[in-house]
Amino acid sequence: CPRPVTAAALSCRRYVAGGRCKSTAKLEGKVVIITGANTGIGKETARDLAQRGKVVVACRDIAKAEAAASEIRAETGNQQVIVKKLDLADTKSIREFAEKFLAEEKELHILINNAGVMLCPYSKTADGFEMHLGVNHLGHFLLTFLLLERLKQCAPARIVNVSSLAHHGGRIRFHDLNGEKSYNRALAYCHSKLANVLFTRELARRLQGKSQRRVEFTANALHPGSVHSELVRHSFVMTWLWKIFSFFLKTPWEGAQTSIYCAVAEELDSVTGQYFSDCQPAYVSPRGRDDETAKKLWSVSCELLGIQWD
């Protein structure tokens, strides 16, 4: 016979589950892009938002993305779940994605920069960037830059950057951004998640500074929680630990709640440059609040990508 679930265990599980997005906001006539939406919290975010509006699933693996989109269409009845190829480890792919999207879609209201890599052995992107930095930060930085004007045209609009509590352990090592002098896969992930927070902060500052009206264009970052997903697939030890301690990890659906909250919650209409966890404001590390580092990272990112973003 199965062992009875104790009240303490249920209480613990509710605590682990964290906050839940309670917004019933509809996205009729609106378009959402979610990167890495073929699995994990990205897929659950897409599943929820597909019940509200049109969703573009932007993924590297088209076969997995089509399978996820087909499942979501069948479940929600929404045929407006579109798959488009996007490889964040290749700036050519990012530019091709943006070009095709802008040619085919006239609207864009929400961009959720969700995709990411974690604990990768040392490797580089197609453009020679260290993989964590290239995918988690620079890839989304370029994607946002390429889609920004369309988002502005469709304001009110939102950008949601999925960061992590791990940003507390990160620092921006300008002297060795690509980890060629020293590399630790865990720290590389932390550094990239700090970059997400700093990018969000600087983007919000720049967007606010150009408008004297009510904020109609917001950018916020979030920590989804410790989620039982494929993100740890590059580490045998972490994969093993994730299985053992799965009871104390969020499910992908639970992990998606703060992404959904940042994308649709009405109370965030004019909130920008903030960091959330469990559907509420969360503490940002001192390094994540360093405006000078944020400005320098912005400038260096533009140089690395060969773009001008003023």
Place of tokens 């140089």: 303
Query: What values do phi and psi take at 271, rounded to 5?
Result: -100, 125
The residue range of the domain holding 100 is 24-304
Identify whether 241 is part of a domain: yes
Q: What end-to-end distance do the CA atoms of the chain give, in Å?
A: 65
* Percent of the chain with pLDDT strictly greater than 90: 81
Tell me the pTM.
Answer: 0.90
* Among 183, 189, 261, 275, the one annotated catalytic: 189
Considering its fold, how many domains does the chain have in total? 1
In order of 114, 177, 184, 250, the CA distances from 180 in angstroms are 26, 8, 11, 34
Tens of pLDDT, residues 175-233 = 999 999 999 999 999 999 999 999 999 999 999 865 545 668 999 999 997 665 555 45
Residue 83 within any structural domain of the chain: yes
Tell me which residue of 192, 167, 137, 160 sits closest to 284, measured CA to CA. Answer: 167
Does residue 18 fall inside a structural domain? Answer: no
Q: Residue 70 domain-assigned? A: yes
Spatial CA neighbour of 114 closest among 162, 50, 59, 184: 162
Task: Give the span between the Cα atoms of 276 and 253, in whole angstroms.
Answer: 17
Tell me the pLDDT tens digit for each residue of 64-114: 999 999 999 999 999 999 999 999 999 999 999 999 999 999 999 999 999
Q: Establish if 271 belongs to a structural domain.
A: yes
Residue 16 resides in a domain: no
Residue 275: active-site member: no
In a domain, 218, yes or no: yes
